[in-house]
Structure 1
Amino acid sequence: MLNITTKLLKSILLEKVEQLAVEAGEAIMQVYCREFAVELKADHSPLTEADKAAHVIIVRGLQALTPDVPVLSEEDTQRFEGANADGFYWLVDPLDGTKEFIKRNDEFTVNIALIERGQPVLGVVVAPALSLTYVAASGLGAFKIAVDGKYVAIHTDPAPLEGQPWRVLGSRSHPDPRMADWLAALGKHSVQPMGSSLKSCLIAEGRADVYPRFGPTSLWDTAAAQAIVEQAGGRIVTCEGKPLDYSTPAQLLNPDFVVWGGSVLPSPAY
């Protein structure tokens, strides 16, 4: 259990990181509201000036806030040399869902996570176009920040009762042919496509039950949302049932995984 002093410090840190994510989101929206150019990175993923602007804001802010904690950002992987001596590092996706940003469908986020010895212990996800903010920290719980600025505790829903359909979220821009077989094993369901880490956040607040992801994702795509899902009572696990792990950041890609809201994981889905 965290002592009161540690809880207070973590709460202050969470608030400051949330402010950084909001500031990055505001910079993203300044680009979103006008014409912008799109580049292609070496892996052929898109890059915009919004990604770059958010990266600068977040990295500078985190370095000022915690100068002894290294930062691994999607937009700067080369200078990251690993976690500090205590096993901490920041994991950042300045603009998750760049394809959704380019399509202008509003389903993109800012993701910031604090990793401690391979596990996300603090996470902030901001969806600036939708005015949504989710935050969580171990020992504090998971929260959605309301329009009036109040923190509202969020929790996952139990698994559907027998005979009731599973509310499934799917990737909007990254379809995979294995999805059909997985859904057939799951049973009765409805599927809603969505972009970015919003899928995991909707599960964390009980608005969906499960999100299977087949195909490549990177560590920064999942860490912040994983902190939120876990503190809300859910799980993000590999197809072997193990939590996603961030202890080897040199390995940037995640395995296939499933985000579960309910506490009961149906074995046929694996």
Structure 2
Amino acid sequence: MQIRDKVAVVTGAASGIGLAIARLFVAEGAKVVAVDWHAEAIAAAVADIGGTIIGMTGNVAVEADCVAMIDRAIAEYGRIDILVNNAGVMDLFQSVADLDNETWRRCMSVNVDGPMYAMRRAVPLMLAQGGGSIINIASVAATGGGAAGAAYTASKHALIGLTKSTAFQYARLGLRCNALAVGGVSTNIMDSVDNSRLDQAALGRLGAYHSSSPGTLEPIDIANAVLFLASDAARHLNGAVLPVDMGWSAA
């Protein structure tokens, strides 16, 4: 097993990609702290997965919650080897002229502030133990402008910048930081927004891009890529943005 006895923190772990990652990590012998803002859902997920896994309720937009989840890994397992920043929210597909402050701040707080808070707490601990692996779940929206609205697109671009900066700064100290630019995945991320408020005009424009998608991935497809980046098999990959999109970004 590629990550046996490694300690991992996974955010957004109650459903979709995060749930698939947590399940696969436990199956591969890792010790997991699974975090989500839905208390009942994370409790159910942990009970279903079984094995060496702890569930926590937390909102990554709150710095104290991010600190608490990293500290929980240290308290329970004595170290943190892997951090997967998966929790994220979608926008309303608004173009910049129609973008409201609430949507902008929500996307930035969950999609950018959260990973930064978690990384800021985890990195010194990883360095003290000799290294670690951070994987940030980005999107095809991180490398282009046609996949989502202005808020989500900007947040995922920012996440890539955070990934690359971290990778470069700590490359000689045993710490790796990579990202996945995922394509369309069968998840419930649209539950994070009020569908009645979606910008239909902007969606019409974005349809040209979405029509080029080769298909929809399953959460396990992303989890398998995360497992690879977390493992020693990817020890020479640092600062990479790995597309997992069935070739969508190649169009």
- The TM-score normalised by the length of structure 1 is 0.30
**Counting strand residues as a fraction of each chain, which structure ranks higher?**
1
* Structure number having the greater helix percentage: 2
Q: Which has the higher contact order (CA 8 A, sep 6+)?
A: 2
Report the TM-score when normalising by structure 2. 0.32
